[in-house]
Each structure stands twice: as structure tokens, then as C-alpha cells.
Amino acid sequence: MNLNLKNPLAFFDLEATGIDTINDRIVEISIVKLMPNGEQEIHTHKINPTIPIPEITTNIHGISDEDVKDKPTFKQMAKTFASILKGCDLAGFNILRFDVPMLVEEFLRAGVDFDISSRKLIDLQRIYHMMEPRTLSAAYKFYCDKELEGAHSAEVDTVACVDILKEQVKMYEDKEHKDSQGNVTVPVKNDMAALHQLSFSNRVDLAGRMVYNDKNEAVFAFGKHRDKKVEDVLTKEPSYYDWIMKNNFPLNTKQELTRIKLSMGLLGSK
């Protein structure tokens, strides 16, 4: 079918050094511009972010410092991008949470006016989640083909989870999954260790303030020490531990940080 367009609709996606719209920078932008007459243009550009790309981020999108060292900066390309997007409404997946804020920040840093107030913004994820709810009742219907009677009763919900997990394992066991880098794994197995790895991923603490990098080293996932080894930070800047302990971080985060400090033999040191 053809989309009913009054203005060109620019589908776009960004890859960046991270997800902090203030401190991180774009490393790649791809725009598919769909015209009201059905024609489309594709514009894809790698961008020199002017800051290092963390290894943990390169492992996700596959773009390294070497790939972008000779590419133009966003500031150098900003007027070109603004021209491509002139008069366009914007669309993409999860663009309201990340891509649009990041793009607008980059335009502002480049001194280029990019007004979104008159543009229509279409987020495919919002449509997806609205029409295919990610609730326990929806999961029960999808996996078990039954209506969940008495949802939000703790016992009913918990019993439903038992049935759902059994059906998930039955449906997905030994099924291959390809990630964004083309790596193929078989993540779902009838094995709780494998399911834990799938569910908890690489988090050190429940809030994800610390994660394991590809070398299985605990690193900070936020702030000025993002992607730095926790042990290195605690050694070189012990006051950072005190700052976290005194501020509004989850108790579990403080507990895990203390566990790491204890394992280093630093507990009680300043």
C-alpha cells in the first residue's frame, strides 16, 4: 500500500557514541526520504564524532574510531542534513526517546536552526506497543492462546508466568537468533543459566549503573567515568565511591559497588 502523505516523510536512524544526548555524538545517520508521489531517496553518512567511540559501543553498532577518523563532522554536514530534511515529517523506531532529541542537540551545537514544532513525528515503537501490548495478559494470550482471567491477582499472574515460560522454551528452544552485528546464537535453552544470561545480560547491578564489558570487566555505564573499569576508578579516585554512597543511587547499586571495593581490599580506605 501507499502511505497517504502531504509532506515528504523522512525515516531516519542514528548510531552514536552512546545514549547521552548531551555528551555523546552521532557517528552515522541514515535517512530514507519518502515523497508523496511514492519516490524515495536514501542518504547514509558516517560522521566523525570528534570524541572517542567506546569499545562497548563499537561492539553494538560495529563503527570504530578508524571508520570515522576521515569523515566530516556533524557541524560540517549540518546544513546538508537540514536541506535533506527540509519540509519533512519524521518517522522511525523509538525516535521520540533517542533519535529526535539527539538529532536536535547536534543541530543546535552546529548552530543550525532545525525546528520540529511544525513537523509530524511518527514513532513506530509507540504504534507497535499500543497495538501489540507487552503485558502479561497479552503474553499469556500469545503463548498459551488463553485469556488471563483475574489478571493483577498476584497468584493468577504468577501461575500464568509458569505456563508462559514453558511455552517460550518450547517455541524458541534451539532457534537461532541473529544480533545487529550478524552474530548468530541460540539464546533460548531449557537451561536456567542460559535464560539468566539472556534476561540479565551484562548488568552488574539491577539498575544498570555498572555493566560487564566484552572482557567481563565491571565498568561504569553512566557519568564522567562511563566505560571506565570500576576497579580503576576506585583506585585512582576513591572519593567517587563516597560520592555514590552519599547520593540518591539504588541500595543495590551501592551494595554491588561495595562488593567490588571489598574484593579489592579497599574497604575502609580513603
Which tens digits make up the pLDDT trace of 156-191?
888 898 899 999 999 999 899 887 667 788 889 998
Q: Are the beta carbons of 140 and 155 closer than 8 angstroms?
A: no
- Residues 36 and 5: their CA atoms lie apart, in Å, by 5
- Which sequence spans correspond to the domains of the chain? 9-128, 136-200, 210-263
Residues of the chain with pLDDT under 70: 180-181, 267-270
Q: Are the beta carbons of 219 and 229 closer than 8 angstroms?
A: yes
Q: Are the beta carbons of 164 and 144 closer than 8 angstroms?
A: yes
pTM for the structure as a whole: 0.67
Instruction: Return the CATH number of 9-128, one of 2.30.110.10, 1.10.760.10, 3.40.50.1220, 3.30.420.10.
Output: 3.30.420.10
